[in-house]
Amino acid sequence: MSEETSAHAFEALAQNPGTDTHGHLRFTGTDGEEWLEPFDLPELAANVLRELGHATLMHEDGWLELTESGLHLLPQFIEFQVRDDERIGTATTMQCNHPQLLPQGLFEYQYAIEETFDDAVTSGFRKWARTDLPVLLDAASAEPRSCMTMSMELPAEDGRPARKRRLLFGPVEHFGQPQRDADADADASADEDTDTDEEDFCPCCLFTKSIDAFEPLLRSDQFYGLRLFASHDNAGGECQADCRVNGEEWPQGLDALRAYAARWPAATGLEYRKQYVIVQNAPQ
């Protein structure tokens, strides 16, 4: 990892709520005494990227460059909170730009709780690097390495030529398990070849079961990063959803995701599924 002067024309997005990359945090002790502690988000993010084997340049203005893919990353601070249990909760964003693929940029949020500020920020960045970054890296490659893909052929229309769109599906974060009766568990254990996953759950289902809500994005020529989240609280029957496109709320997807969650098999307690999906023009 090395440091260089800025060699890009990217700027922080106005809609990105992140602010500083470096600065000081103000803490107040139980006795009322206050003190400041420095933070350096690019350094923390670069450490995570290096741990995962990504060659990284650090620019003086806080941007990080992944040299193999050409992705440029900007980690930014939103807020932190000292909880009642004295653990630290942090909120950050990670912006991503690419000179050809994504000059306009997009961003995503990271939230984490750990014993220290640095540990919490590092945890948030590490989770982002394991779930979102592989999708962005595959988007910058003609041949995806990590993600399930899907193609969509679009005919010529409205003066635009025929084209192909590519979808990249990141790993699904899945919490909670559907209920199973004793007979079903016994039958499954008796047959090692039995597929014990619940029906209607694969790496593309969060998107494909809500696809009508994303039709305008599919038919566009633009690059989109989609954050999809759906949950089902079996105790109260309540379904929740979160849907963002390029970091900003996409309310058109909320009803579709909630409707999909309502169809999940009954779970023990809360179940949720979360995923990052990219929609882009297929490489020529």
DSSP 8-state code for residue 267: B
The mean per-residue pLDDT over the stretch 254-263 comes to 95
Phi, psi of 251 (to 5 degrees): -65, -20
The mean per-residue pLDDT over the stretch 186-202 comes to 47
Q: What pLDDT, on a 0 to 100 scale, did the predictor assign at position 197?
A: 41
Type of residue found at 158: D
Q: Which pLDDT tens digit goes with each residue over 113-137?
A: 999 999 999 999 999 999 999 999 9
Query: What is the model's pTM?
Result: 0.88
What three-state secondary structure class fits 207?
Answer: helix
Output the furthest CA–CA distance in the chain (Å, rounded). 69
- DSSP assignment string, 106-171: EEEEEEEEESSHHHHHHHHHHHHHHHTHHHHHHHTSSS-SSSEEEEEEE--BTTBPPEEEEEEE-P
Instruction: Inform me whether the pLDDT recorded for 195 exceeds 50.
Output: no
In angstroms, the CA 257 to CA 211 distance is: 10
Contact predicate 113/120, CB 8 Å = yes
Q: What pLDDT, on a 0 to 100 scale, did the predictor assign at position 236?
A: 81
Q: Which pLDDT tens digit goes with each residue over 150-166?
A: 999 988 887 788 889 99
Instruction: Inform me whether the pLDDT recorded for 198 exceeds 60.
Output: no
Instruction: Inform me whether the pLDDT recorded for 194 exceeds 80.
Output: no
Q: What pLDDT, on a 0 to 100 scale, did the predictor assign at position 190?
A: 41
Instruction: Inform me whether the pLDDT recorded for 1 exceeds 70.
Output: no
Q: Where are the domains of the chain?
A: 2-131, 165-192+199-281
In angstroms, the CA 21 to CA 59 distance is: 12
DSSP 8-state code for residue 178: B
Q: Which pLDDT tens digit goes with each residue over 5-53?
A: 556 789 999 999 999 999 999 988 878 888 899 999 999 999 999 999 9
In angstroms, the CA 73 to CA 277 distance is: 18
Mean pLDDT of the chain: 89
The percentage of the chain sitting over the pLDDT mark of 70, rounded to a whole number, equals: 88
- DSSP assignment string, 8-19: ------TT----
Instruction: Inform me whether the pLDDT recorded for 238 exceeds 90.
Output: yes
For the chain, the 3-state helix, strand and coil shares in percent, each to the nearest 5, are 25, 40, 35
